[in-house]
Amino acid sequence: MNTVSIIVLVVLAILTLVQVMRISEVSSEIQGGKDNEVSEKDNDTQGRLMLLVGMGFVISVVVMYVVWGRLSLPEPSSEHGSEIDGLWNLSMLIINIVFFIVQPILFYFAYKYRGKKGTKAVHFAHNNKLELFWTVVPALALAVLIIWGLNVWSTLMMPENDEEPIVIELYAQQFNWTVRYSGSDNALGFASVYDIEGANIVGVDTQDAASADDVVTKELHLPVGKPVLFQFRSQDVIHSAYFPHFRAQMNCVPGATTNFQFTPTITTAEIRQNKDVKRHVEEVNAIRTAKGEDVWDFNYVLLCNKICGAAHYNMQMDIIVETEDEYNAWLNEQKTVAETL
């Protein structure tokens, strides 16, 4: 019944609109029938609106920066993170300069050159100097960004290590993460999906000597100031290990091992004292208390950032960055593969 009445309403609304249109057309025909042509008045009104709305848009962008700028991720908690943020800031500066020059010019021209009776446009078909100018200037700006960008990229992807990085495996499956530490030999034992059985959820080959001291856990602890080489595997579909606070991300691809290295620089305890993080936590907790939800304390978090199925939105793991001593103490408490399997 409800559906029928909605359909009837929609039909009636369309019929009304058609009649209104017809009446307005008939009345305009009586007045000479020019009503639907673009008049000088239209050019004037729409030209002014272009300036008004266009500038309104540009100003609203400024407002958004002011109001929402604070929502961005806090300072990077990894060594390479500051290089990424430096490059990010330069790129943002350049594109914002272009944005705040080009958009106002566009809307100003749209207003300034709105059609007027009796004026004739200027016949200006090309100008090689001008065109060369705005080919070369973007090219130069891009050259800077490309060279800097490639530099940062290669230091990220091929880091020079003074000390051997700690090797940690991150193992993805629908819809959770598992961690495997390489233990005292800093070498991961061979593993494959063919070895998955019972409690051996990541498929460690127990015959491999390197696997004996491996530690499989559901918690991710990292020592501060030590380079960590993550190796990623997935057992089912593609996942993506996203560490937003460390400016790190790598896909986990079934059938292959991928890797990403970074050095955490700020412990969880320290970042909780960061003023941006503190404000963020206060803001969030105000919202949560109002809704009657649990109070939240900041934790570094690992998210899945490649669509992987129904619970993709909740595939997460906390990351605890602590001092080396705390880390070693925690790791020593964990049972090794030799002990559990």
Partner 1 sequence: MSTMSTKSTENPHFQDHLMEHHHEENFFTKYIFTMDHKMIGKQFLVTGMFMGIIGVMMSMLFRLELAYPEQSFPILEFFLGKWAPDGVMSPDMYLALVTIHGTIMVFFVLTAGLSGTFSNLLIPLQIGARDMASGFLNALSYWFFAMSSVVMVVSLFVESGPASAGWTVYPPLSALPQAMPGSGAGMTLWLVSMTLFIVGSLLGSLNYIVTVLNMRTKGMSMTRLPLTIWAFFVTAILGVLSFPVLLSAALLLMFDRLLGTSFYLSDIFMGGEVLSYSGGSPVLYQHLFWFLGHPEVYIILLPALGISSEVIATNSRKPIFGYRAMVGSILAIAFLSFIVWGHHMFITGMNPFLGSVFTFTTLLIAIPSAVKAFNYITTLWKGNIQYTPAMMFSIGLVSTFVTGGLTGVILGDSALDINVHDTYFVVAHFHIVMGLSAIFGMFAGVYHWFPKMYGRMMNKSMGYAHFWLTFITAYGVFFPMHFLGMAGLPRRYYSNTAFPMFDNLADINVLITYFAIIGGIAQLIFIFNFFYSIWRGPKAPQNPWKANSLEWTTPVEHLHGNWPGEIPMVHRWAYDYSKPGAEEDFIPQNVPLAEGEESGH
User: CA angle 337-183-255, nearest 5°?
Assistant: 70
CB nearer to partner 1: give 183 or 231: 231
CB nearer to partner 1: give 9 or 309: 309
Answer yes or no whether residue 324 interacts with partner 1 by CB under 8 A.
Answer: no
Answer yes or no whether residue 229 interacts with partner 1 by CB under 8 A.
Answer: no
Segment contacting partner 1 by CB under 8 A, of 95-103, 207-215, 222-230, 329-337? 95-103
Mapping DSSP to helix (H, G, I), strand (E, B) and coil, where does residue 163 land?
coil
Answer yes or no whether residue 104 interacts with partner 1 by CB under 8 A.
Answer: no
Q: How many CB atoms lie within 10 A of CB 302?
A: 22
Closest C-alpha among 300, 302, 290, 334 to residue 320? 300
Answer yes or no whether residue 335 interacts with partner 1 by CB under 8 A.
Answer: no
Which of 8, 11, 27, 131 touches partner 1 by CB under 8 A?
A: 131
Which of 1, 66, 122, 199 touches partner 1 by CB under 8 A?
A: 122
Count of residues in the chain: 341
In whole angstroms, how close is the CB of 314 to partner 1 at the nearest point?
4
Site for partner 1 in 20-39 (CB under 8 A): 21-22, 25, 33, 36-38
Segment contacting partner 1 by CB under 8 A, of 208-216, 217-225, 235-243, 263-271? 235-243
- Kindly state the DSSP code that residue 164 receives in the 8-state scheme: P
CB nearer to partner 1: give 138 or 335: 138
Q: At what angle do helices 40-68 and 81-112 cross, to 10 degrees?
A: 160
- Long-range contacts (CB closer than 8 Å, 24 or more residues apart) made by 274-277: 274/74, 274/75, 276/70, 276/74, 276/75, 277/74
In whole angstroms, how close is the CB of 164 to partner 1 at the nearest point?
20
Site for partner 1 in 188-227 (CB under 8 A): 192-194, 196, 203
Closest C-alpha among 156, 133, 149 to residue 91? 149
Site for partner 1 in 151-190 (CB under 8 A): 152-154, 156-158, 173-174
In whole angstroms, how close is the CB of 184 to partner 1 at the nearest point?
28
Q: What is the token pair recorded at 157?
A: 């992807």
CB nearer to partner 1: give 242 or 330: 242
Q: Taking a C-beta distance cutoff of 8 angstroms, is the pair 311, 175 a contact?
A: yes
Answer yes or no whether residue 100 interacts with partner 1 by CB under 8 A.
Answer: no
Q: Taking a C-beta distance cutoff of 8 angstroms, is the pair 113, 52 a contact?
A: no
Answer yes or no whether residue 7 interacts with partner 1 by CB under 8 A.
Answer: no
In whole angstroms, how close is the CB of 215 to partner 1 at the nearest point?
21
Pairing label, strands 220-223, 215-217: unpaired
Answer yes or no whether residue 1 interacts with partner 1 by CB under 8 A.
Answer: no
Distance CA 193, CA 301 (A): 26
**Residue 71 half-sphere exposure toward CB, CA atoms < 13 A:** 6
Distance CA 308, CA 299 (A): 23
Distance CA 341, CA 339 (A): 6
Q: What is the token pair recorded at 301?
A: 């978090």
Count of residues touching partner 1 (by CB under 8 A): 123
CB nearer to partner 1: give 69 or 292: 69
Site for partner 1 in 53-82 (CB under 8 A): 53-54, 57, 60-61, 64, 68-69, 71-73
Segment contacting partner 1 by CB under 8 A, of 144-152, 161-169, 206-214, 222-230? 144-152
Site for partner 1 in 256-275 (CB under 8 A): 256, 258-259
Which of 77, 79, 83, 268 touches partner 1 by CB under 8 A?
A: 83
Which of 306, 317, 319, 321 touches partner 1 by CB under 8 A?
A: 306
- Kindly state the DSSP code that residue 310 receives in the 8-state scheme: T
Question: Looking at 122-196, which runs of residues are DSSP E strands?
Answer: 166-173, 176-181
